[in-house]
Structure 1
Amino acid sequence: MRRSGLYLHLSLAALSLTLAPGRARAQLDRADVEAVSQPSAPGSSASGVATAGTTPPSTSAPAGATTPTTTSAPAPSTGPAAATSRDGVDARPEPTGAQPAPGPATSPYPRPTPPAPATISTTSPPPPPEGTPSPEGPAHPARVRWGLDAGITLGAAGTFFILEAWVTPQLPADAPPSMPTLSSPDDKAVGHFRPNAALASDVFLYSSMAAPLIYHGIEAGLRKDKPFGLRYGTDVMIYAETLALNLLITEILKNAIGRPRPLVYVDPDAVDADVREKLLEEQASADSLKSFPSGHASTSFAAAVGGSMLLTLKLARRRPGALAAAWVLSLGAASTAGALRVVAGKHFTSDVIAGAILGSAIGVVVPLAHWRGTLEGAPRRRRRATMQVAPAMSETTRGLVVTGRF
């Protein structure tokens, strides 16, 4: 009888499984617990459904008579609660001892876990350490348009040589004019002629012109992360363009102004005999009327400032000590070349000052005209806003949390 009651509960659970699929698993588990914890009372009879392979006993049938057997289709069973053996006997072991009281029914499906908070960050990556080489950057902080810049350089240089070779000989070489009234410091340049000082000024001039080619070549060779040919070629092109423009502008001003040199006012009898012939030769030449501005001063300062400006674009943030040394040595050599022109009697002091200003201006303007706008090696220190967005989830709260720095 106890088993009959158990089969009845299991059959009802299977029937409810077909009628209510959404609640079938919970009801089946509850029916199983009730059947195990509450055994059937003695004397109760099975009714309604009989399992296959079982024959209820009959007390009224005569001896020797065949007892009819009622067989029904087995009820659909799902899960371990309705498991039966092949002979129709419950295959589960009998419960022994007192069973614990059934707890509250729980869903067999796992409770969904809320997703982890998602974080959205717009924080930019930290800048690279100062001085870190950037192989992905341009080969040079200055940009060169090779066709245009080469045309400007060749055109300026060609025009300069035409003026020097054709226009200068056409200038009048008249008798020395009377010496004008000079103010200080120009009056200190009159009355002497020193060819040796002129030769020394030539040495400093050519040294000033060659120095940028040397130290830019060394710098380009030391940069293993940049192509040497493109980097050094850019330096040479911009530097040559600077010198060519300076020579052309200086030559135009010399021919247009026509100021006599200080040596024109020197008495040949007041100088030594070994330099008298040289003095007379220069006084008679057309070049004696091309004193303003000083070509040695303008060219020396154009080379010094132009070369140092190119070096500044490359070393301002990486090698400030080497950059400072280049500026000091270059300007020192250019100043020495200009001062020796005054000592030699070739120029007035105002000629040298004007030439230094002109050459320095060209030495600054031309490299900056090619500059890309960023010093090489300078870290980008742009302050960017940062923001983080995350969902705020709790038992009673749903929302978003936004944090940031602006």
Structure 2
Amino acid sequence: MDTSQAEATPLGERAQDVVAMLKGEKAPGDVFGPTFLAAVSPAQFNAISAQLTTQFGEVIGVESLKATGDYSAAIALRFEKAIGRGTIALEAQAPYRVEGLLLSSFESLDDTPDKISAELNAMPGNASAYFGPLDSSNPMFASNPDEHMAIGSTFKLYVLSALARSIEAGERAWSDTVTINRRSFPSGQMQDWPEGAPVTLQTLATMMISISDNTATDILIHELGREVVEAELIASGHSNPARTLPLLTTIEMFGLKGSPYNLEKYINGDEAAKRFMLLDFVDDIGGDTDKLEGPIPTVPTAIDTVEWFASARDLASILKRLSTLEDGTARGVLAVNPALDKSQREKWKYVGFKGGSEPGVLNLTWLLQDQADAWHILTVSANNQEGPINKGKLQLMAQRILALAP
């Protein structure tokens, strides 16, 4: 069933209703069912609609609608500057309201690097992006690629690479078992696992990357040694390692940012003083979250001083080290949660992903291999000391950049 055949069906009618909503001609409550509205409120949908209009121009109409079931279809909507593709699902009974709608990829129609760069630089705070082959200094897109940005949990790429190289050197095996002997705060799940539970290094790495598990991360840093992960950061060719050293565990980051006194003391100390403070922290707290004082910050806190920092080119350097490992296990870990929809993944032979976020910080980084086996990076970062990052907007920026690929 193509678009013309679908127009008189419930799917066709609801697809047109979606266009009308995006144009502001219908209200979400008139089209969406209670299941959808429980997950996405009318206010949230209107915000998403405004964001899509800002990114891709006004919606023009339904480009295509291909049924995948009696009440579901693959949908493509044409905007002024892009075609958005995704899925739509309806209730199985009248009035056949929309219960599922997801536009997961956007094909640029008239985008240019200059347009994307201008919009990226217009975001609050600072932004950076880079897209191109790892073996070339000629990217397809670059905006502030040498600016050092807070990257949040994307620093876990350095932990993964340090672990993989230790295994490659014969010091450890992916199947080695350690125990749950410390905890951090979420993101993640392992903070709720039983004390002393056995877990393999590969499981820890998979949890650390796929769901950004902070407890798994801290256990791996403890097992490897902070200095080993720091050595990997330096060996990768990081352009300013001093800004990130000493490399913090996640619980140390939470502990510092939850204590104004210790945070100020840490910021004002030299590297030796900072390391001394962390030794005290390990002695006093270890991996026991119950011993921490102070709340976890919900607003941007010291994101320009107490963080993990890297430029886009620095992230390209660590991905290059991961891409050249003979053992593909680490790359398999990165591919568990690729953070791209199926249509986008199909253009690449391999897709791996790691992102990071905290209040005022967002990074999205992909390792990509094309059909000719060449490795690429796509990374976008935004830092805003004044407030939160618009995650949806940055994700849409990444999709627009990815669409620049030939």
Relative to its length, the structure with more helix (as a share) is 1
> TM-score when scaled to structure 2?
0.19
Relative to its length, the structure with more strand (as a share) is 2
> TM-score when scaled to structure 1?
0.19
Q: Which has the higher contact order (CA 8 A, sep 6+)?
A: 1
